[in-house]
Amino acid sequence: MMSAESRIIYDFGAGNGADLPYYLLKADRVVAVEANPVHCNEIRSHLAEPLASGRLVVVNAVLDVAPVSRDVPFYIHKTRPWLSQYPRPAAEQCAAFTETLLPARNVVDVIREYGDPYYVKIDLEHFDHVILRALFEQGIRPPYISAEAHTAEVFAILLALGGYQSFKLVDGATVRTRYDDRTISTTKGTTKHSFAHASAGPFGNDIDGPWMAPNSFLRLLGYAGLGARNAYKDIHASRVDPADPNHSPQPQFRITVDF
């Protein structure tokens, strides 16, 4: 039984579990929700000890916002399983996916079952914004939250519906090199940790740099670029860390004009 003071992290879209060793250092319990049963079996095989102790829970389900649990079509990518998704792919992309019926669970019901979150990671391929809205509409606004940002809509929801005022950006493509052998805070002090390839990387104050106010962060998004060509960028938001009002991001390139 978790106490009221326990830290619970939710990994929505856990994949093969690349982020779970880090989250287990940061929380008293981690709830990993993953639709793909092959990935869930990988997690259970690699992390048998925290599973046995109850510190890790694996929920094999498609996260949904429907009020009733049911089987739903889920689309597993044939060659790149990390691109599997709940929304039906565009017609020209369907051949790359295998449609499979899988059990679905309401995201709010999952949180009500396991407890209030300390941090929620959302990586659900074109469904992050739907889950964010569902959480905020039910008053679930954890101290820390992140979601993949294919468009600026995720940022708008975090700001307008979530009420978050402090933001950071993590570039997933550079996590493995940028955050190698880092000192991170844990539930028991500090330790060294290297982030696995294809992991989402750190959250909270393990991320480099100051927390940014909304206007500064919006400028950063403009510099960074979003969309399919700039994938693997995650927006992180905090309710407990003040933004640095003096931090103004700068572009990582120069613009030259010839006359």
Q: Report the 3 state secondary structure along the chain.
A: CCCCCCCEEEEECCCCCCCHHHHHHHCCEEEEEECCHHHHHHHHHHCHHHHHHCCEEEEECEEECCCCCEEEEEEEECCCHHHCECCCCCHHHHHHEEEEEEEEEEHHHHHHHHCCCCEEEECCCCCHHHHHHHHHHCCCCCCEEEEECCCCHHHHHHHHCCCCCEEEEEEHHHHHHHCCCEEEEECCEEEEECCCCCCCCCCHHHCCCCCECHHHHHHHHHHHCCCHHHCCEEEEEECCCCCECCCCCCCCCCCCCCC
Domain limits for position 193: 8-238
Residue 243 lies in a domain: no
The CATH number for 114's domain is: 3.40.50
Residue 258 vs residue 227, higher pLDDT? 227
Provide, rounded to the nearest whole percent, the portion of the chain with pLDDT above 70.
92
Q: How confident is the model at residue 246 (pLDDT cuts 50, 70, 90)?
A: confident
Q: How confident is residue 259, by pLDDT bands cut at 50, 70 and 90? A: very low
Q: How many independent structural domains does the chain possess?
A: 1
Examine residue 256 and state whether it is found in any structural domain, yes or no: no
Residue at 257 is within a domain = no
Is residue 259 in some structural domain? Answer: no
pLDDT tier at 251 (50, 70, 90 boundaries)?
low
- Report whether 28 contacts 6 (CB < 8 A): yes
- pLDDT above 90 as % of the chain: 78
pLDDT tens per residue across span 37-88 = 999 999 999 999 999 999 999 999 999 999 888 899 999 999 998 889 999 9
**Residue of 237, 209, 43, 243 lying closest to 121 (CA atoms):** 237
Does residue 248 lie within any of the structural domains?
no
Rounded Cα–Cα distance for residues 35 and 243 (Å): 35
Residues 198-233: tens digit of each pLDDT: 789 999 999 999 999 999 999 998 887 765 555 678
Judge whether residue 14 has pLDDT over 50: yes
- pLDDT at residue 1 tops 60: no
Residue 256 pLDDT class (50, 70, 90 cuts): very low
Mean pLDDT of all residues belonging to the chain: 91
Amino acid at 102: L
* 244 found inside a domain: no
Whether the per-residue pLDDT at 250 is higher than 80: the answer is no
Determine the pLDDT at residue 227.
59
Q: Residue 87, Cβ neighbours under 10 Å: how many? A: 13
- Is residue 255's pLDDT more than 70? no
Greater confidence, 165 or 249?
A: 165
Q: Does residue 247 fall inside a structural domain?
A: no
Whether residue 158 lies inside any domain: the answer is yes
